[in-house]
Amino acid sequence: MRPLVSMTLAACAVAALGSSAFAQTPPPAAPPAPPAAGGTPDAMPFDIPYGVSIGLEKAKQVMAAAEAEAKRRNWKMDIAIVDTNGELVHFSRMEGAQIGSVNISIGKARTSARFRRESRVFYNAFETGHPYVATLDPGLVASPGGFPLVEGGKLIGAIGCSGGTGDQDAAVCKMGADLVK
């Protein structure tokens, strides 16, 4: 009986000492607050009003300017021009341009038209560690080379180029976009 009492007293002592140690342990720290989402701007970003969609004749002019720049630099490009909804109006695949860039150029133009900003904005978001962009639209193309076409302060469509590096694509598209202003 005596060993049973000794063991019971020892167990109670361990429990008492252990509970006082837990009572002195500070509570675990709260998890860190999530990072800010960039703050709240006063004005809506990329708030370009929609205008009348680009027509075929204007699309041909924009295409001619972009193709001239690509030819001047000897870059083989796929070039797409879409309306305000991101639907294809005019397309050109230059001689020797890679076939894989056909849908990419259309996707860049569509992304730029539907989100009313350069497709490079989404590329930059990915590059700075913000993969949430991929959740916005399954057809979004986050790569330089998509430019909104803005005439008279209103979005009339977009141009997308693919076939070179992102900066080459953007340089060709910018020539077409600058024609519209």
Phi, psi for residue 2 in degrees, rounded to 5 = -60, -45
Predicted confidence band of residue 181 (pLDDT cuts 50, 70, 90): confident
Helices marked H in 25-136: 56-73, 101-115, 120-127
Per-residue pLDDT, averaged over 159-173, amounts to: 97
Higher pLDDT, 26 or 70: 70
pLDDT recorded at residue 122:
93
Per-residue pLDDT, averaged over 46-71, amounts to: 95
Per-residue pLDDT, averaged over 151-179, amounts to: 96
Per-residue pLDDT, averaged over 63-75, amounts to: 97
Among all chains, which residue has been given the structure tokens 């924009």? 62
Helix (H) or strand (E) holding 88: strand 88-93
Homologous superfamily, domain 56-180? Haem-degrading domain (3.30.450.150)
Higher pLDDT, 164 or 9: 164
> pTM value?
0.76
Q: Percentage of the chain with pLDDT > 70?
A: 78
pLDDT recorded at residue 5:
52
Q: Percentage of the chain with pLDDT > 90?
A: 66
DSSP conformation letters of 130-180: -GGGGGT-TT---SS-EEEEEETTEEEEEEEEESS-HHHHHHHHHHHHHHH
Predicted confidence band of residue 6 (pLDDT cuts 50, 70, 90): low
Helix 166-180 and helix 101-115, axial crossing angle in degrees, nearest 10 = 50
CA–CA–CA angle 95, 98, 102 (5° rounding): 95
CA–CA–CA angle 52, 46, 54 (5° rounding): 20
C-alpha span between 165 and 92 (Å, rounded): 18
Domains in the chain: boundaries: 56-180
